Amino acid sequence: KAGVTQTPRYLIKTRGQQVTLSCSPISGHRSVSWYQQTPGQGLQFLFEYFSETQRNKGNFPGRFSGRQFSNSRSEMNVSTLELGDSALYLCASSHPLGLAGMSSYNEQFFGPGTRLTVL
Partner 1 sequence: EDKVVQSPLSLVVHEGDTVTLNCSYEVTNFRSLLWYKQEKKAPTFLFMLTSSGIEKKSGRLSSILDKKELFSILNITATQTGDSAVYLCAVLTSGTYKYIFGTGTRLKVLA
Contacting positions for partner 1 (CB under 8 A): 4, 33, 35, 41-45, 48, 55-56, 58, 90, 97-98, 106-113
Beta carbon nearer to partner 1, 19 or 46 = 46
Residue 23: partners with Cβ closer than 8 Å, 6 or more residues away: 4, 5, 6, 32, 34, 73, 74, 75, 76, 91, 93, 111
79 C-beta neighbours (distance < 10 Å), count: 14
Beta carbon nearer to partner 1, 79 or 86 = 86
CB of 2 to partner 1, least distance (A): 13
Beta carbon nearer to partner 1, 79 or 110 = 110
